[in-house]
Structure 1
Amino acid sequence: MDVATVNSERFQDRFELFCQIGETERGGVNRPSLSDANRDARNQLVEWFEEAGLTVSIDEMGNIFGRRDGKNADAAPVLFGSHIDSQYNGGRYDGVVGVLSALEVIETLNDADVETDRPLEIVAWSNEEGVRFQPDMLGSGVFTDIFDLEYAYSREDSDGYVFSDELDRIGYKGDEPCEPRDLHCYFELHVEQGPYLDEQDLSIGVVEGVYGFSWLNASFGGKADHAGPTPMHLRNDALVATSDVINAVRRLTATGGTDLVGTVGSVDVYPNSINVIPEQVEFTIDLRSYDNEVVEQAVEQIQNEIRYAADREGVSWDCEEIMRVDADPFDDDCVATVERAAESVGADYMRMVSGAGHDANYLNTICPTSMIFVPSVNGISHTEGEFTEWDDVVTGANVLVHAVTEKAAMTETTEISQ
C-alpha cells in the first residue's frame, strides 16, 4: 500500500514545545530520570498519546506505553519508541526524537485513515541515560528480565534518593507488570551520537548492531606526603601510575583493533590537594568494539598495564570488571526492513553499527529488533550543543513509518499470539 509522509510542521511544533520542558540557557535540556522536569515531560507525553487516540498504560518501572489497535487484536504488536530522560544539561535530540517520531507515525496513520493488521505500541522507556540512577537502561532492562524489579527499585542517586520512592513521588509507579511479553518486533529511531553520517553527508543509518563493551573499576594505593620536601625517588604516587594507564589506553586503541575505542571517563583523587602527593586514585575504563575477541584482548592488556604501572611506582592496585556486554547484532530481517524503508523514501543511507548502547540492545534479547540513526552534526551528543538538521529528523520519521507499516502487516496466521 502507499504510505503517507509525516507532517513536518506539526512534528516540529511538538518537538519545540517539548524541548521547553527543562530547557537550559544554552539550548539544551535538563530532564534527568524522575526529576520534576522529567515528570512534566511524562505528563505532556501522556496527554499527546491520549489526544492521538492511544490507550495509555504505565508499568511498574514507569515505562509509558501508547497502544493503537489493529485489525487482528490478538496479534503480537509492533513496538517502537525510545526515551525522554536526559543527561544533566544534555541535548534536545537524544531519545526524544525517537519517541516523538513514533507519535508522529501514529498521527500520520490516523490522518491517512490507515488501519494496520497488527496493533502498534509506542514506548517511552524509564531511566535510559543512567545519569542519576545507575545502571543505565533500567526500564527496558527490567522489561526484558535483564534486571530484577527490586534491584531497580533500590537504586540510589548521589543524594541518597531511592528510585522506587522517586518513581512514586512523581506519580509514575504504574500497576502494569514490567516483564517480557509477546512482541512482533521493535524499532528505535535515535540520533547517531557519532560523526559518520554527518561526515559522509548521509541522512540515515541502518543499524546492524551495537558494540560490545567492558567497564572496569580500577584503583591505586600509594603514600601521601608533602609535595615539597619529599624527593622524587622516595615517592609512591598513585596518580602517576594512573597517568601511565590512561596513556596505555590511548596507545592500545590505536593498535588493538580497527574499531576499538577506550576511555578513562572518571577519576577520583585523594586527598586531592595541591601540595600533597596523591595517595589513592580510583578510576574507570571503558573499552568497546564490535568484535568480542578484541574487547577480551584489550581487557587483558589493560589489566597487565595496571600491574606494570603499580610495580614501577611501588603502589598497590586493584581492578574489577563491573560490566561486560557482548556485541549485539540486530535481527537480519528487521535490518533489511529499515533498509527497504530508507530506499522507499529516497534517503541516502549506510549500514553501520552503534558505538553506544540503547534500549534496543535489551529488546533484542526478546524480539526481533533494529534501529534507525539520523545524523548528529559534528558527532556531538550528550551536551547542550547536540544538533540534528530537522530535514534529517523528518527523513528518519518517514523511514520509521515505512518500517512500522511493513512489519504491522500480517503475513503468517501462525504469528497470532496465543
Structure 2
Amino acid sequence: MTSPTPEKITVNGDRLWQSLMDLAEIGAYDDERTGLRGVNRLALTDADAAGRRQVITWMEQACLTVRIDRMGNIYGRREGTDPHATPVLTGSHIDSVATAGAFDGCLGVLGGIEVIRTLDERGITTRRPIEVGVFTEEEGVRFGTDMLGSAVAAGRLTLDYAHALTDRDGLTLGDELARTGSNGPTDVRLTPPHAYVECHIEQGPVLAEHNVEIGVVTGVQGISWQEITIHGRAAHAGTTPTHLRADAGLAAAQIIVHLRAMVDSGEYEGLRATVGHLIVHPDLTNIVPARAELTVDLRNPDDAQMARAERALAALLEDLEGSQPGLSLTTRRMAKTAYVPFDTGVQKVIAQAADDHALDHISLLSVAGHDAQEIAALCPTAMIFVRGEYDGISHNPREYSTPQACTHGVDVLATTCLRLANQD
C-alpha cells in the first residue's frame, strides 16, 4: 500500500553522512601537508573500481535496476507508474583528483541514492521513473578531458574518441574500462530524460559569504584546457652564453607570468587562468631545459571574453617562438566547453523546494565544471549547491561540508526530484 504524495520530503541525514564517510575510505590516504585524511580515487584506477562496486551494491540494496554503458557510466533506475514516461535523472561522479576530499561529486551520487531509500521507506510512488547516474572521468585529471562520461552520453564527444584517450603512462581509457570491469554492454547515448538535477558542494565561498545554505545554480561558465609543449635545446648551465640558449623553462615561466598579467589587467572580465601542470626535461640542476610541458586552464562566464583570452594566449605563443633561436612550441586542445545556462523552470522547482524546507537560498553561477552542463544539452537541467566550510575549499583534503548542510541540500534534492517526477 502506498502513502499519499507529500508536499515535501526529508531524508535520513545520519545515513547519508555514513554513506559519504564509508565511500571516503575507498582510496583514502593520509595527507602530509594538511595532516588530514584525503581521497585519491582517479578515474578507472583500482580505487575507483572499488568505489563503483560499492555504489552499485548500495543501488541494488535500494532495489534499483542497474545498467552500465560502454563508457562505464552507471545508472540505477526506480520505476514510475507510467511505463511510457521519461525519467527524472539525478547524480554526479565519484572519481576524484589525487588530493581530494569526501564530497566533490559523491554528495550528488549518494544523495540520489538516499532520495530513493526515502521514497521506498515512505511508500511513495512517482509517475515518472527516477534514475541515479554515476558518470565516468568527470574530473579529467587522468585522461585529460573533463566531464568525459557525460559528454559522450550527451553526444558532444564520440565513444571512439573517449576510448582512445591515454593517461600519462600511455594506458588507454578503453583498456582501463576493460581491466577494471567497468565497461558495460548498454548504449552510451542517453535518451533525453524529462529533467536532470544535480546536488553538489559549491566549491567556493559565495554561499558562506551570504550566510545561506542553498544555491540555485543558473549555469556553468566556459572552460578551456590546452596542453603546451615547448621545445628548446639542452645545454650546459655554466658554459652556454645566455644569448645562445633555447631555454624551454624560461618560456614556460613567461607563459605563466603573462597569464597572470592578463587576469590582473581586467581586460578579460571574469577571466581565471591556471597552470596546474608543469614539467621540464631533463629536469637536472645544471642543464638548460630542453623541453617543457604545461597545461593552461582558462575559465570565463562570457564566451566572447574567453575567445579574446584564447587569441591573446595564441599571440603570446607565436611571439615566444621568435624570442630565442631554436625555440618552438606545439599546442593540443584538451577540452573546451562554452557557457551553459540552466533551465529556469527547474531552477524555480529547486527554489520552491528550498523555501518549503525553510532554507535561505540565492542564485549563482557555477565557476567549476559539472556533468550537469553536458546533460543540459538533452533536457531541462539545473543544480543545487550546498555550502562548504573553510572558504569553500575543494580538490583538497580540507574540503568539508557539515552533516546538516549535506542533509539540507539532499532534502531539497529529494523534494525537487519528487515534484519533477510527478509532472505531466
Match of 1:414 in 2: none
Write the deviation string for residues 287-334 of structure 1: whole angstroms up to 9, x where unpaired: 111100110111112222333444444453435361332111111211
Tell me how far 1:208 sits from its aligned partner.
0.7
2:338 paired residue among 317, 326, 345? 326
**1:136 matched to 2:141:** no
- What secondary structure, in the 3-state scheme, does the structure 2 residue paired with 1:272 have? coil
Write the deviation string for residues 198-238 of structure 1: whole angstroms up to 9, x where unpaired: 33332111111111122233344334322223343444433
1:257 paired residue among 253, 268, 272? 268
Pair 1:234–1:133, CA change in 2 (3 A): closer
Quick check: 238-247 or 347-356, which moved more? 238-247
Match of 1:13 in 2: 18
User: TM-score, length-normalised on structure 2?
Assistant: 0.91
Q: Which runs of 5+ in 1 are unaligned?
A: 412-418
User: Hey, what's the Cα distance between the residues in 1 that align with 2:278 and 2:364?
Assistant: 32
User: Hey, what's the Cα distance between the residues in 1 that align with 2:232 and 2:182?
Assistant: 47
Alpha-carbon RMSD across the aligned residues, in angstroms, is 2.0
- What secondary structure, in the 3-state scheme, does the structure 1 residue paired with 2:354 have? helix
Amino acid at match of 1:406: R
Match of 1:296 in 2: 307
- What secondary structure, in the 3-state scheme, does the structure 2 residue paired with 1:400 have? helix
Match of 2:414 in 1: 401
User: Hey, what's the Cα distance between the residues in 2 that align with 1:242 and 1:165?
Assistant: 33
Match of 2:362 in 1: 350
Write the deviation string for residues 250-276 of structure 1: whole angstroms up to 9, x where unpaired: 111121234211112222222322112
Tell me how far 1:386 sits from its aligned partner.
1.4
User: Hey, what's the Cα distance between the residues in 2 that align with 1:22 and 1:35?
Assistant: 9
User: TM-score, length-normalised on structure 1?
Assistant: 0.92
Match of 2:171 in 1: 161
Contact 2:268 2:308 in 1 (8 A): no
User: Hey, what's the Cα distance between the residues in 1 that align with 2:305 and 2:278?
Assistant: 25
Pair 1:315–1:336, CA change in 2 (3 A): farther
User: Hey, what's the Cα distance between the residues in 2 that align with 1:36 and 1:217?
Assistant: 27
Aligned 1:33-48 pairs, distance under 5 A: 33-48=43-58
- What secondary structure, in the 3-state scheme, does the structure 2 residue paired with 1:60 have? coil
Aligned 1:272-287 pairs, distance under 5 A: 272-287=283-298
1:68 paired residue among 74, 78, 101? 78
Aligned 1:76-225 pairs, distance under 5 A: 76-225=86-235
**1:392 matched to 2:405:** yes
User: Hey, what's the Cα distance between the residues in 2 that align with 1:297 and 1:261?
Assistant: 13
Pair 1:368–1:261, CA change in 2 (3 A): same
User: Hey, what's the Cα distance between the residues in 1 that align with 2:104 and 2:374?
Assistant: 18
User: Hey, what's the Cα distance between the residues in 2 that align with 1:57 and 1:219?
Assistant: 40
Contact 1:154 1:164 in 2 (8 A): yes
Write the deviation string for residues 13-45 of structure 1: whole angstroms up to 9, x where unpaired: 222222222222231222222222222222222
**1:56 matched to 2:56:** no
Tell me how far 1:93 sits from its aligned partner.
0.7
1:374 paired residue among 366, 369, 386? 386
Write the deviation string for residues 38-92 of structure 1: whole angstroms up to 9, x where unpaired: 2222222222212212112222222111111112121010000011112224211
Contact 1:238 1:315 in 2 (8 A): no
Write the deviation string for residues 142-187 of structure 1: whole angstroms up to 9, x where unpaired: 2111222222222333333332333223333222211120310111
Contact 1:223 1:277 in 2 (8 A): yes
Amino acid at match of 1:8: G
User: Hey, what's the Cα distance between the residues in 2 that align with 1:218 and 1:61?
Assistant: 28
Contact 2:223 2:300 in 1 (8 A): yes
Contact 2:97 2:141 in 1 (8 A): yes
User: Hey, what's the Cα distance between the residues in 2 that align with 1:91 and 1:168?
Assistant: 27
Tell me how far 1:394 sits from its aligned partner.
0.8
Pair 1:283–1:134, CA change in 2 (3 A): closer
Contact 2:79 2:129 in 1 (8 A): yes
Pair 1:234–1:354, CA change in 2 (3 A): same
Pair 1:362–1:47, CA change in 2 (3 A): same
Tell me how far 1:102 sits from its aligned partner.
0.6
Match of 2:317 in 1: 306
Q: Which runs of 5+ in 2 are unaligned?
A: 1-5, 31-35
User: Hey, what's the Cα distance between the residues in 1 that align with 2:41 and 2:251?
Assistant: 37
Quick check: 214-223 or 276-285, which moved more? 214-223
User: Hey, what's the Cα distance between the residues in 2 that align with 1:240 and 1:314?
Assistant: 13
User: Hey, what's the Cα distance between the residues in 2 that align with 1:160 and 1:305?
Assistant: 30
User: Hey, what's the Cα distance between the residues in 1 that align with 2:129 and 2:53?
Assistant: 24
Pair 1:200–1:232, CA change in 2 (3 A): same
